Amino acid sequence: MVDLSSQYEKVKPSIDRAILDVIDKAQFINGQEVSSFQKDLEDYLNVKHVIPCANGTDALQIAMMALGLKPDDEVITPSFTYIATTEVIALLGLKPVFVEVDKDTFCIDVNEIEKAITSKTKAIVPVHLYGQAANMNAIMEIASKHNLFVIEDNAQAIGSDYHLTNGSVQKTGTIGHIGCTSFFPSKNLGCYGDGGAIFTNDSDLAQKIKMIANHGQSKKYYHDVVGCNSRLDSIQAAVLRIKLRQLDNYIDARRKVASIYDAAFAPISGVQIPFRSDDSKHVFHQYTLILDNHDRDGLCNFLAERDIPSMIYYPIPAHRQKMFSDFGSADTHLPVTDWLTKRVISLPIHTEMQDEQLDYITNSVKEFLNN
Ligand SMILES: *Cc1c(COP(=O)(O)O)cnc(C)c1O
């Protein structure tokens, strides 16, 4: 699905030098590279505070801990997402309330959010799935009307621009009260191990987030709140500083692949190519088709026989996971989510795709779907 080796080859000298430099200095934890990357990312995102942490799941957990929610408080989130988004809600003793997604954007359906709001609702966690931003204009309006926090799960959309109704353009992840991302190697901005970050323009929240990520420590050996230990290590920060300079090029390369796929698949009946909202720049973490009246799993097998990887993101939605059976969430009526889990298929997309690979993939997909 990705080709991280070819991508590395292109930046190998600078990456190798940066990694060796960290080893030479022996500043493995909280080194200079971490604070430099933090500043670089603040500049790139145009956000006041970036707090690096150990992974994207921690980022979501720490963000939620910083809101000071109480047990049984409710958090609204889509069911059609990676498990991490919803898992941390339950881990913190909060109640995930699953809301339907929009069939076009794959993101939370803003028309369904208000129906799910109760007196216990405290936050909304939209997910910018596959690199397409959720409808943040509507979400921020609903949140402000009902006095709710918004935590953006930006793990799949880092670098995406979003057009706000007030005319300004902001990066996804910096629009809600807190944004979270992952630097898992296959993400659009990936490191060479685990990594994550939390963003906010709210200085009080930033202070709390920093404390929570560092054992609740306010000053050395003074621990004011229960926190955790979640750090980005210096080697990962050094890798990320170099790759951040390439992020816009990486996004362009992904968008180019998506356009080629679009042109190849749009004419096939029963195939829905990814929707591109006018409000945001799709950064194509995944290229995902909806196949209606086609044998989706047959296509997966057909492609596998030709050594073409494909993936189903995600085959089982959160509300149908055993993990949440105590919440009775399997009874939640989410027909679009269920419909999508049976029809989506994601094709290989990355920054180093060759024309011959694209020809081979598009011809193979067309051969199966046109028969
Ligand atoms: C990858 C991902 C995460 C979790 O990130 P990790 O770094 O793997 O913990 C959370 N949410 C979404 C939508 C993701 O894609």
CA nearest ligand 1 atom 6, residue: 56
Report how far ligand 1's centroid is from the alpha carbon of 318 (Å).
14
For the chain, domains (ranges, CATH) are 4-244 (3.40.640.10), 247-369 (3.90.1150.10)
Of 81, 127, 172, 184, best ligand 1 pocket probe by most atoms within 8 Å of the beta carbon: 184
In this structure, which amino acid lies at residue 291? Answer: L
Distance (Å, whole) CA 73 – CA 214:
25
pLDDT for the residue numbered 65? 97
Ligand 1, residues at Cβ distance < 6 Å: 55-57, 81-82, 84-85, 127, 153, 155-156, 182, 184, 194, 196
Residue where the block lists tokens 């989506």: 344
Radius of gyration of the chain (CA): 21
Tell me the C-alpha distance between 67 and 294, whole Å: 45
pLDDT of residue 157: 98
CA 189 – CA 69 distance, rounded (Å): 30
Residue 93: left if φ>0, alpha if ψ -120 to 50, beta else—which one?
left
Q: What is the pLDDT of residue 341?
A: 97
What is the per-residue pLDDT for 326? 86
Please calculate the CA angle 181-182-187 and round it to the nearest 5 degrees.
115
Strands 271-272 and 287-291: what pairing? Answer: antiparallel
Ligand 1 centroid, distance to 163 Cα (angstroms): 24
SS3 for 266?
coil
Cβ pair 66, 319 in contact under 8 A: no
Q: Which atom of ligand 1 is nearest to the CA of 182?
A: 7
Identify which of 79, 156, 178 to mutate to test ligand 1's pocket (most ligand atoms within 8 A of the CB): 156
Cα–ligand 1 centroid distance for 181 (angstroms): 7
Residue of 84, 319, 316 lying closest to 181 (CA atoms): 84
Alpha-carbon dihedral 173, 11, 361, 183, rounded to 10 degrees: -30
Q: How far apart are CA 147 and CA 12, in angstroms?
A: 48
Q: Tens of pLDDT along the chain (371 residues)? A: 999 999 999 999 999 999 999 999 999 999 999 999 999 999 999 999 999 999 999 999 999 999 999 999 999 999 999 999 999 999 999 999 999 999 999 999 999 999 999 999 999 999 999 999 999 999 999 999 999 999 999 999 999 999 999 999 999 999 999 999 999 999 999 999 999 999 999 999 999 999 999 999 999 999 999 999 999 999 999 999 999 999 999 999 999 999 999 999 999 999 999 999 999 999 999 999 999 999 999 999 999 999 999 999 999 999 999 999 888 887 899 999 999 999 999 999 999 999 999 999 999 999 999 97
